[in-house]
Chains A and B, each alone.
Chain A
Amino acid sequence: MNAAVSPVLEARALSRRFGGYFAVAEMNLTVDKRSIHAVIGPNGAGKTTLFNLITGVLPPTMGDILVEGTQVAGSRPDRIARLGVVRTFQGVRLFPSMSALENVLVGRFCRTRGGYLAAFTRIPGKAGVTEAASRRRAEELLERVGLASRRHMRASELALADQRRLEIARALATDPQLLLLDEPVAGMNPVEVQEAGELFKSLRDEGITILLTEHHMSLVMAISDQITVMSYGRKIAEGTPEVIQRDPQVLAAYLGSEATS
């Protein structure tokens, strides 16, 4: 394995049981650096649960999760985030009464220093060196996702598409190496989906690896380098978009389930 395609994430025999049901069963997943990797599958296939395991929101019942070789199975979410694995949620989770700018600024927390003493000794109205740098970075990210003009709006007042973009900007503020996006374009119109796709590709080109789940098949097929197909918690197929589109098992799993818009 050469450096260019070394995995940023590896899951081995990863399982999660709820009661008697395995929402994720014996999943093996390798996500290569600088790739867009999609996980698709019908509703209830276990995609969100897989994300919860990788980001430490839920501990796995069994199995290993390696982030650049470091075992993180069972670690707390904040530790995993500091290792560079950060996610968004299928049902957006912002800090609703904070402004768009503040939401992104909070994302800088884990990459900056300064506790109570720094807070007490700062000069009111004047941003210190770290704070000024955080602000610049947050403004850049808002610009990047197209929210610069709405940076002082409360997160709860933003339209759904903007909330999804803001959540991505907040995740980017943590300097992630692996970004997990759980249905990032759900509820977006075709133009917004198109823009989101461009954003994801440009992030990959800058070196950020993206693992995403999506039901929007034309987007998945257009931007993904690798696709993993899940059904009932298990991996049923894996490969490039061309391979997946022709896989009979995949077609069977999707038959009669949601429309492949």
Chain B
Amino acid sequence: MLDPYIESILIFSGINVILALSLYLPVSAGLLSLGQGGFMAIGAYVSGYMTSVLGWPFAVALIAGGVSAGIVGLLVGLPSLRIKGVYLIIMTMGFGEIVRVFFLNFEPTGAASGMGGIPTETTLPIVVGVTVLVLLMCFQIRGSRIGRALEAVREDELAAEVIGINLTRIKVAIFGLGAAVAGIGGGLFAHYATFIDPGQFGFQRSAEIFIMVVLGGMGNFLGATVGALVVTILPEVLRVGDMQEWRMTFFGVLLVIIMIVRPMGLIGVRR
């Protein structure tokens, strides 16, 4: 049997890789989001409600959570992805806050006191399976017709547009896909934690996901993966994990160092 402590680190590693990839997907088209925690929350609450209250099977609930987050991603993306750069970051931050405050006040899912009684369904093999699927998805997009268009949009929007690429469609679709992946990550999280409350999906969560991607390197999905692993495992190795208040300070310092030493991230190479 695997040591439960090691197992929990591995499960959180997998969930964080999924969350980091959920941000990598829109980043691959140049869309930075500081609101992935919001999409994670939607996936967590929707799937958690379905299994704990409605008694639905876990797999169905997990997919429903991802689809719900994806639909919200499309709805949020459609009017807002004309915004660029720092304004988009601020908008997604605002979105994350709206979702948090919504669940803080939404009685059916426990409002501020959170939602408990979610069955433990997330096991290591399931997390590994989903992580591999999401990695495979990123691998398949890269170098495909659609993957090249995403890269082109990231490199030069105007040049992409004048050769016939519909920017809105490309951006909204990848933003929605990223949101759906974040929702799946949230569903896995909810069925491991068994208790969720809005505070777990606030700005700090979004920032952590952001840090994983920037730390690992934004040009490559392996960068996001490595970033997620570093952010999950390093604090455990250094035993700062249980000192919650020092966590963000630690990541902040780490990020500053990496940005000075390797501005392109740990895995800086493209593809």
A residues sitting closer than 8 Å to B (CB atoms) are 55-57, 76-78, 81-82, 86-87, 89, 93-98, 102, 105-112, 114-116, 118-122, 124, 130-131, 134, 170-171, 173-174
Contact = CB atoms under 8 A, between A and B. Distances in A.
Contacts of B146: 114-116, 118-119
A114 B155 CA distance: 21
A112 B270 contact: no
A174 B145 contact: no
B148 A102 contact: yes
Contacts of B152: 95, 98, 106, 109
A119 B145 contact: yes
Q: How large is the interface on B (under 10, 10 to 19, 20 to 34, 35 or more residues)?
A: 20 to 34
Contacts of B147: 119
Contact of A95 (B140, B155, B161): B155
Nearest to B177: A116
Nearest to B151: A98
Nearest to B159: A93
Contact of B159 (A56, A95, A118, A173): A95
A98 B148 contact: yes
Contacts of B155: 95-98
Contacts of B144: 114, 118-119, 122, 131
B162 A86 contact: yes
B268 to A, nearest CB: 12
Contact of B167 (A56, A78, A170): A78
A81 B164 contact: yes
Nearest to A80: B162
A105 B160 CA distance: 12
Contact of B164 (A78, A93, A115, A130): A78
A86 B144 CA distance: 23
B158 interface: yes
B162 A109 contact: no
B161 A77 contact: yes
Given A77-B158, A120-B140, A124-B140, 14 more contacts: A78-B164, A78-B166, A86-B164, A95-B155, A97-B270, A105-B148, A106-B152, A115-B173, A116-B141, A116-B146, A120-B137, A120-B141, A134-B145, A170-B163
3 smallest CB-CB distances across A and B, nearest first, come from A110-B164, A81-B164, A119-B144
Nearest to B149: A109
Contact of A106 (B148, B177, B270): B148
26 contacts: A55-B162, A57-B158, A78-B166, A81-B163, A82-B164, A86-B163, A89-B159, A93-B159, A94-B159, A95-B155, A96-B156, A107-B163, A108-B145, A109-B145, A109-B149, A110-B164, A114-B146, A115-B173, A119-B140, A120-B137, A122-B140, A122-B144, A124-B139, A134-B145, A173-B163, A174-B164
B165 interface: yes
Contacts of B145: 108-109, 112, 114, 118-119, 130-131, 134
Interface in B50-70: none
Given A106-B148, A134-B145, A95 B165 contact: no
Contacts of A76: 161, 166
Given A109-B149, A119-B144, A78 B139 contact: no
B215 to A, nearest CB: 20
A114 B147 CA distance: 11
Given A114-B145, A119-B144, A119-B146, A57 B165 contact: no
B163 A171 contact: yes
A111 B145 CA distance: 11
Contacts of B141: 116, 119-120
Contacts of A108: 145
A89 to B, nearest CB: 7
Interface in B107-146: 137, 139-141, 144-146
Contacts of A112: 145
Q: Which of A76, A106, A112, A171 has the most B CB atoms < 10 Å from its CB?
A: A106
A93 B149 contact: no
A238 to B, nearest CB: 26
A200 to B, nearest CB: 19
A90 B66 CA distance: 45
A106 B158 contact: no
Nearest to A109: B149
A83 B164 CA distance: 9
Contacts of A170: 163
A94 B151 CA distance: 12
A121 B148 CA distance: 16
Contacts of B162: 55-57, 77-78, 81, 86-87
Contacts of A93: 156, 158-159
